[in-house]
Chain A
Amino acid sequence: MTTYEPVIGLEIHAELQTKSKMFCGCSAAYSEAPAANTLICPVCTALPGAMPVVNQKAVEQAILVGLALNCTINPMNQFARKNYFYPDLPKGYQISQYDLPVASNGWLNILAGTDPQRIRVRRAHLEEDTAKLFHHDRHTLVDYNRAGVPLLEIVSEPDMHTVEAALDYATRIRAILRYLGVNSGDMEKGVLRFEANVSVRPTGSSELLTRTEIKNLNSFRALTRATAFEIQRQTQIYQSGAEVVQETLGWNDLKEMTISQRSKEEAHDYRYFPEPDLPPLEINRAWVEQIKSELPELPEMREQRLIMQFGLTVNEARLLTSDKALADYYEKTVSLSKSPVKTISNWITGEFLRYVNDMGLDLEHLPFPPEHLAQLVDLVTAKAINDNTAKEVLAGMFKTGQSPETIVKANNLGQISDQDALELVVAQVLNDNPKEVASYLAGKQTVFQWMMGQVARLTRGKADPQVARKLLLQALEKARISK
């Protein structure tokens, strides 16, 4: 039977983080609106006679993204009207960009599995978000607070051939947007939405077969599930000898399947034409250069730097740079700590991230600063506490936000590495267990571990294992001689 490989392109809609909306002065912070229809004006509710004026900050953010994605910034931009009727679209057209978008012809490096791959970015253009609809049994309610919030649509070429590649591309785009500070990446709030174009073709061929478009993918999970489902559906269709129909699909999260949206199909003649209410937008080189100078270090560059600077593995570096806040936290901790970088990396990629993920924490609002994490790692390095205790302390830090020193003191968790104190403990172990001492001295080496266990028991785990080991060996040698 013929095998098929997928061909996937992604459209990513990202809300830009401006203060005001794309074409009017209403606040764009719709998720913090006091009530429905409070962040509105004649422009964003399309009252007769109202006119749009472009938000300069939105253009700058779009240019920033374009540069980060290695795009050409088009010196002449034009807005266009995309005409269709839908109750979330007050004007009956969306102001978007058509043949002259802000940015085009860029690329982004990803990992398809373990193989590096360059995905081409076709274009990035500005448009406006729609109103929010609330569907009820017998009618629909409209809230215009979100209408007119700036959106950047980033369109890839159909260059991805696995679900993993698509996921990696989407993940990296999200990271870049967060690095640039133009999008919070908060998927639950809907600030980032995906549409996937999916087709399949016989493995090894280079033809492009009929594609379908899956809309409304509002999480990475939905993106991976929907594309995987669609790939399988199309493959089965071809294998059964039938043909795939070009159509728009919706993803149903509950039923875990794509569903045809025929009602939207007929209206696909968008009748684009240049927006006459907005003069063309010139983006001159000086402006682009100025924005370029504000471009921060991006994930890919940072990944390379961390590998070079700290000797991290590729996987560690990728994980640590996947989020700007995490990478910032990591680098800050490294700069504050006296411990080896390797130890710090292990702590952050291990226990630390496990808590962050388990507790669903926002990396930008952690309960404690990097200073505290640096202290914790330094306590371990200085053998003031052992690994197990450190894990307990870290749990306490996540729970209470207190500094590790405070927690250690309050709970008397400090590691015992004091020679005199441990000598007493070792002496007691030898005193209490003459039989075991005898069998060790008779050559039964395994008893040593048991005796170490006794030291740990008596110190409730706080004994510095290396010091304890040394003292125990010395005491047993003494016993051998005195015997």
Chain B
Amino acid sequence: MQPHTLSIREAHELLTTKQISSVELTTAVLDHIHKTDPLINAFVTIADELALEQARLADQRLRQSEDITPLTGIPFAVKDCISTRGLRTTCSSKILENYIPPYNATVIDRLSTAGAVLIGKQNMDEFGMGSSCENSAFFDTHNPWDLERVPGGSSGGSAAAVAANMGLFALGEDTGGSIRMPAGFCNVTGLKTTYGRVSRYGLIALVSSFDSIGPMARSAYDCAAVLQSIAGQDLKDATSLPDPIPDYLKMLDKPVKGLRLGIPKEYFQAGMEAGVESSIREAIQKFEELGMEIREVSLPHTTYGLPVYYLVLFAEASANLARFDGTRFGLSVAEGAENVIDQYLQTRREGFGPEVKRRIMLGAYVLSAGYYDAYYLKAQKVRTLLRQDFEAAFEQCDALVAPTCPTTAFKLGEKTDDPLTMYLSDIYVVATNPAGVPSLCVPCGFSNNMPVGMQLIGKHLSEDVLLQIGHAYQSATDWHLKRPAVSK
């Protein structure tokens, strides 16, 4: 048995039947990371000591058979935009290279209460701005299926790590596809939760009205187990939802027969890679075999999702990133500064990469007096239409299915020269975030030996339904179990 290859479900069985200890499991995962990550570069920080300490505590709980959750003793890592007390949190930016938060994000506290074992922090596009993980200020992360290719972004480190068995699950964060797009590129199951379902407190904000934390794991089952621990209202996040939390694991086995699955026609347009389209069509076939009703629906404003997404992103991000000014934490370039404005200009010049600079400048532009109505306000109005599209579609069906990306993972460096082309790779995943709806990425095949992901999109707070459909699909297929060679 190779412990690092276990799923959460398998590991939980072994841990509770005392066939393995959390320390053994955690050690195996850490060893595998130290062996494998030099090829992948998924981790910004590996926390060996901290991990083993938590594993020992988890083992105590397991020995006493007290207070055990499906995550007790399970090693995991998080995208490096989630604050961890005492453990460096960088957003893969030079400006936070040495920042050590004095507090935990709520999700970290919740996983810690559940007994999960934090093993490290994962690489990302700087502040979540990117679709390939090439915008990390530290290093590129490589796709474990082909080291020449990108893992997707911005939760690229998390997707690559889970695919390469470096941690049993990860917490990613999805602002406009940042969980689903890399999950699809790396053959990982990833859930973008309903906006507000999971507390954002302690998540370093990119777009406060889009950001959603969610699990990235080996299966829908594992995602359900993680969601169970992290979902729910948090009094420190005024946008978190008070709605009751379903028993996600229990809901998984409900039959999908009779559920209505919508195919949004706007997501199946020219430009999609043939292997991607055929994989998705096969998956739809499978859903039909499972007894689901398939119907075509329309989301007429799909084309406008991308501009809406980016305009709101630019605006909010430009404000969210204003606090990085070299005064209270992080990089500070004050040498030669005659006044505080010099310190701001120098620090932010040195501390931010080109994509971050582009976006915060564009944010100031679209919010400026005289431009506000034409850009920001216009985008917020079209955003209302995007939401209405989804609402109308969900009158006719229980979930939608669509590709996560028109192509499989592209080559490193292929799109870095032209920001607009890079933005266009997000075309299928961005619309869900302005609408706030949940979406589950499920591996559904391969095209030219690279993984293809599909996304199931549901109405607000329908994570249980998405996980149920994903689980039914994964019970009937084994795409999600395929692992790249480096994962061994």
Q: Are A and B in direct contact (Cβ within 8 Å)?
A: yes
Docked-complex contact A54 and B238, CB < 8 angstroms: yes
Task: Check if A93 is an interface residue, CB within 8 A of chain B.
Answer: yes
Query: Contact flags (1/0) for A265-287 with B, using CB distance below 8 Å?
Result: 00001011100111100000000
- Which chain B positions have C-beta within 8 A of A85? 322, 325, 341, 344
8 Å CB interface, A114-159 against B: 140, 142
| 0 or 1 for each of B348-375: is its CB under 8 Å from A? (1 = yes) | 0000000000000000100111001000
Report A89-101 CB contacts with B as 1/0, cut-off 8 Å: 0111100000000
Interface membership of chain A positions 8-25, coded 1 if the CB is closer than 8 angstroms to chain B and 0 otherwise = 000000000000000000
How far does the alpha carbon of A173 sit from the alpha carbon of B360 in the complex, in Å? 41
Residues in B neighbouring A93, C-beta threshold 8 A: 319, 322
Binds B, one of A39-47, A217-225, A345-353, A461-469: A39-47
Residue A53 lies at the interface, judged by CB distance under 8 Å to chain B: yes
- List B contacts of A47 (CB < 8 A): 83, 101-103, 328-329
- Which A residue sits closest to B240, measured CB to CB? A51
| The one of A51, A54, A81 that contacts B237, using a Cβ cutoff of 8 Å | A51
- B366–chain A nearest beta-carbon distance, Å: 9
The reply to whether A91 and B322 form a contact with Cβ atoms under 8 Å apart is yes
Bound CA span A47–B208, Å: 15
Taking CB atoms and an 8 Å cut-off, the chain A residues in 56-103 that contact chain B are 81, 83, 85, 87, 90-93
Residues in A whose Cβ lies below 8 Å from that of B103:
42, 47, 50
Is A49 close to B, CB under 8 A? Answer: yes
CB of A434 within 8 Å of the partner chain: no
Which segment of B158-166, B183-191, B195-203 sits at the interface?
B195-203
Across the interface, name the chain B residue whose C-beta is closest to A93.
Answer: B319
Q: Chain B contact residues: over half helix, strand or loop, or mixed?
A: loop
| A92 lies within 8 A of B319 (CB) | yes
> Contacts A54-B238, A83-B367, A276-B316: A49 and B327 contacting too (C-beta < 8 A)?
no
Is B101 a contact partner of A48 (Cβ separation < 8 A)? yes
Beta-carbon nearest neighbor of B368 in chain A:
A269
The interface residues of chain B lying within 8 Å CB-to-CB of A52 are 238
Q: How far is the CB of B40 from chain A (nearest CB, A)?
A: 26
* Contact among A46, A53, A87 for B340, CB-based, below 8 A: A87
- Count contacts on A: residues with CB < 8 A to the other chain: 29
Which listed residue (B82, B204, B238, B376) contacts A53, Cβ 8 A?
A: B238
Mark contacts of B97-137 with chain A using CB atoms, 8 A cut-off: 1 yes-contact digit, 0 otherwise.
00101110100000000000000000000000000000000
Instruction: Say yes or no: A48-B238 contact (C-beta < 8 A), given A140-B340, A276-B209.
Output: no
B239 CB, nearest partner CB in chain A, Å: 6
Query: Is the Cβ of B323 less than 8 Å from the Cβ of A51?
Result: no
Docked CA distance A52–B320 (Å): 13
Chain A residues closer than 8 Å to B327, beta-carbon distance? 87, 90, 142
CA distance A87 to B329 in the complex (A): 13
Contacts of A140 in B (CB 8 A): 340
Q: Mark B236-248, 1 if CB is under 8 A from A, else 0.
A: 1111000000000
For the complex, count residues of B whose C-beta is within 8 A of A: 45
Residues in B whose Cβ lies below 8 Å from that of A53: 235-238
- Is A271's CB under 8 angstroms from B204's CB? no
**Candidates A49, A54, A142, A273; contact of B319 at CB < 8 Å:** A273
Q: How far is A48 from B81 in the complex, measured between Cα atoms in Å?
A: 9
Q: How far is the CA of A49 from the CA of B96 in the complex (A)?
A: 13
Kindly identify which residue among B96, B367, B369 contacts A48, using a CB–CB cutoff of 8 Å.
B96
Which of chain B's residues have a CB closer than 8 A to the CB of A81?
A: 319
> Do residues B200 and A51 form an inter-chain contact, with CB atoms below 8 A?
yes
Instruction: List, in ascending order, chain B residues with CB within 8 A of A278's CB.
Output: 238-239
Whether A50 pairs with B238 at a CB distance below 8 angstroms is no
* B83 engages A48 (CB within 8 Å): yes
Cβ of A270 to closest chain B Cβ, rounded Å: 8
CA distance A85 to B339 in the complex (A): 13
How far apart are the CA atoms of A200 and B424 in the complex, in Å? 56
Q: A81-B319, A140-B340, A276-B208 are in contact. Are A51 and B328 (CB under 8 A)?
A: no
Q: Enumerate chain B residues within 8 angstroms of A271, measured Cβ to Cβ.
A: 318-319, 364, 367-369, 372
A91 touching B323, Cβ below 8 Å: yes
B87 → chain A, closest Cβ, in Å? Answer: 13
Q: Find chain A residues with CB under 8 A from B91 CB.
A: 48
Instruction: Say yes or no: A51 contacts B236, CB within 8 Å.
Output: yes
The 8 closest A-B pairs by CB, nearest first: A92-B322, A271-B367, A276-B209, A276-B208, A48-B204, A49-B202, A46-B323, A49-B83
Pairs across A and B, CB under 8 Å, 23 listed? A46-B323, A47-B103, A48-B96, A48-B99, A48-B324, A49-B201, A51-B200, A51-B236, A52-B238, A53-B238, A91-B319, A92-B319, A92-B322, A93-B322, A271-B367, A272-B367, A273-B367, A273-B376, A276-B207, A276-B316, A278-B239, A279-B238, A279-B239
A residues contacting B by CB (< 8 A) are 42, 45-54, 81, 83, 85, 87, 90-93, 140, 142, 269, 271-273, 276-279
A-B contact sample (9 more), CB < 8 A, given A49-B202, A49-B204, A51-B200: A42-B102, A49-B200, A83-B319, A83-B322, A87-B340, A91-B319, A92-B322, A140-B340, A276-B316
